[in-house]
Structure 1
Amino acid sequence: MHAIRLHAFGPAENLTYEQIEDPLPGPGQVRIAVAAAGVHLLDTALRGGMRGPYPAVIELPTVPGREVAGTVESLGAGADPGWLGKRVVAHLGMAPGGYAELAVTDTARLHEIPAGLDEAEAVAMIGTGRTTMGILQFTDGLGPADIVLVPAAAGGIGTLLVQYAKNAGAVVIGLAGGPAKTTRVAENGADLAVDYTLPDWPVQVRDHLRDHHGGRGATIVFDSVGGEAGRAAVDLLAKGGKHLVFGWSGSGLHDGAPLTFTDEELAERGITSESVLGPVMLQKAGGDMRVLEERSLAEAASGRLRPAVQRFPLAEAARAHRALETRGTVGKVVLEP
């Protein structure tokens, strides 16, 4: 099969398109003919040698990628034969291997792809959608009383957060970089789409809130950006507002840090700030990420959520990584063999 391999940590050019041996499914596993493989911003950091959430630096050479969708084409010993020939999607967990024409995983990780979703959309929902559902656990329910601020609103998670909040009746303000992305955010349903590369963007938001919502502040900031933009977004929170942190791309994923506040700052502002990734998200889901995966796929199957997907050929994984690192993408990045 053809796959993307990483032999040495470093720039995107270190991702090479090669022919390697087909993987064999072990006991209780299936082999998937991959139609779509998800690319995550974390993949770019791991490619550079960052350990990330994993217990050790990845052993090289490796085939990156942890989200795949396709058709089950062979079974390992003891695997349920009912999976053979089904369209499936899976998050591979700690085991890489997604950037390839074939991938193996345990049957316990499989979900059948709902009718009406293609494989790339299913990949978006098993990864990005799962995380979105996890973040939303911390909102205590969105509704018409909420004013939601979404930095990076043209990204994969941002797109879904905008849709979910609008479906719940909230006022949604989406931030994105450049006119092309703000146009996409507006088309996605945001009440206001603002270019946060412009220095006066907080003024635009305050003017909108004054003119249309009685000058109320935001009730929730969904922050995956951090840095100056994240802090400016938090400054738009009303008393009692929530700052939910799930990334810090604005301060540099490789060497940045999430936006944090002292207890004194939070008390003075009358707001809360909480990191919602990792163990705390898993705990909130009752220790089972499949709950979030099932919820995500159900939202897409119903049409309530529509993932934005940007597709690249598998052979151009390096280009996909560069585009993701330079914020040249819209929605979930997916590789297609």
Structure 2
Amino acid sequence: MKAWRVHKNGEPREAMRLDEIPDPQPGPGEVLLRVRAANVNFPDALLCRGHYQIRPPLPFTPGVELCGEVLALGEGVTGPEPGTRVITPAALPHGAFAELAVVPAAGVLPAPGALDDAEAAALHIGYQTGWFGLHRRAALQPGETLLVHAAAGGVGSAAVQLGKASGATVIGVVGGPAKAKVAHDLGADIVVDRHSEDFVAVVKEATGGRGADVVYDPVGGDAYAKSVKCIAFEGRIVVIGFTSGTIPAPALNHALVKNYSILGLHWGLYNTYDPAAIRRCHDELTRLAAEGTVKPLVSERVAFEGAADAVQRVADGVTTGRVVILP
């Protein structure tokens, strides 16, 4: 089969190489899938660079989530049946940017019927992260104000839709007019272009000086530093990641005097500590997708041969929504 592999860490466009390798076979507890679509995530770029918290042995295939078709079951696996369309995280070092993938059966979930392959491939990690961040960690309530950074990006666009679905007022922060239009179209009530506006002032004006009840921050750096200036009393800042490349150093005395919480979210840990919660979340996301309340914004569907360039563009922050690779 064909698979994109990283033989030496570096920028995705240079590090990823299209190789011909033997077809994988499922072992005990595993499922063999034909990859129908593979979503590009920012961690894929970090994996290429060797900067992710997981560092698979070289060479490895990036791609952390996919929509696939079941081809064969390993020993001890009783379902799903061959031919079933599913979504799942990939099993590094054998990631999703390949024609075939072997994954643990325990992580395989039915693909929502309301979504096509590319949309289904983009649902799992981003929307699960959004749901756990907003509901399990921040306990977002109807009528509250949610501030979403990188609101036109893959993770942020999911948070905008989920925030609106929960009855919150959503303020999205983006970089540039094109991304502002995307955030508006996603349903954000107010959109701030950080290149030309001060989101702190906008949040304060929109909330009558009270501030945002929940901040959803996958950016870090300056986005976090300014967010603490417009967080409400008993507000919650959910730390998702650091796409800016800068990890903030919170002033805990400031959190103390303003009575706000700083909440970390490493969604992958729920696979270890509470996998049943992931399935409950999937059922809820499937229901919301069937209603049309959430629908992953797939801005680009890229041919398999263009995978390295696609990962590079996601890494460079020039894309909106989700970029999906179609083998």
TM-score norm. by structure 2 comes to 0.90
Look up the match of 1:226.
220
CA shift digits 1:30-86 (9 cap, x unpaired): 221111112221121121122x333xx321111112212121123334433651111
Which digits, 9 at most, give the CA deviation of each residue in 1:97-121, with x for residues without a partner? Answer: 2111111123222212121211221
Q: Identify which of 330, 333, 336 aligns with 2:320.
A: 330
CA-to-partner distance for each residue in 1:248-288, whole Å, 9 max, x for gaps?
A: 212x1xxx32x342331111222221212257766884775
1:133-172 equivalence runs, <5 A: 133-136=131-134, 137-144=136-143, 146-172=144-170
The reply on whether 1:299 has 2:288 as its aligned counterpart is yes
| Structure 2 counterpart of 1:317 | 307
Q: 1:95 to 1:291 in 2, by over 3 A?
A: farther
Structure 1 residues 233 and 107, CA, compared in 2 at 3 Å: closer, same or farther?
same
The equivalent residue for 1:113 is 111
User: What's the counterpart of residue 209 of structure 2?
Assistant: 215
Q: Structure 1 CA distance, aligned partners of 2:164 and 2:273?
A: 23
**3-state SS of 2:187 partner:** coil
Match of 1:193 in 2: 191
> How far is the alpha carbon of 1:229 from its aligned partner?
2.3
- In structure 1, what residue type is equivalent to 2:34? A
Checking the alignment, whether the CA contact within 8 Å between 2:31 and 2:74 is kept in structure 1 is yes
Do residues 88 (structure 1) and 110 (structure 2) align? no
Counterpart residue type for residue 142 of structure 1: Q
Match of 2:9 in 1: 9
Query: 1:67: which partner in 2?
Result: 65
Q: RMSD of the alignment, in Å? A: 2.3
Instruction: Give the AA of the match of 1:154.
Output: A
Secondary structure class of the residue paired with 1:198: coil
- What CA distance in whole angstroms lies between the structure 2 residues aligned with 1:230 and 1:29? 40
Write the letter of the residue equivalent to 1:24: Q
Tell me whether 1:246 sits opposite 2:240 in the alignment: yes
SS of the residue 2:123 aligns to:
helix
What TM-score comes out, normalization by structure 1 length?
0.88
Q: 1:44 to 1:117 in 2, by over 3 A?
A: same
Q: CA deviation at 1:299?
A: 2.8
State how far apart, in whole Å, the 2-side matches of 1:173 and 1:40 are. 23
Residues 4, 315 of structure 1: 8 Å contact kept: no
1:33-72 alignment to 2 at 5 Å? 33-50=34-51, 52-54=52-54, 57-72=55-70
Partner SS for 1:63: coil
User: How far apart are the structure 1 equivalents of 2:5 and 2:83?
Assistant: 27
SS in 1 for 2:23: coil
Q: CA shift at 1:133, angstroms?
A: 1.8
Instruction: Tell whether 2:253 aligns with 1:264.
Output: yes
Q: Residue type matched to 1:225 in 2?
A: V
Match of 1:275 in 2: 264
Please give the secondary structure, in 1, of the residue aligned with 2:22.
coil
Deviation at 1:298, TM superposition (A): 3.6
Q: Give unmatched runs, 5+ long, in structure 1.
A: none
**Helix, strand or coil: the match of 1:265?**
helix
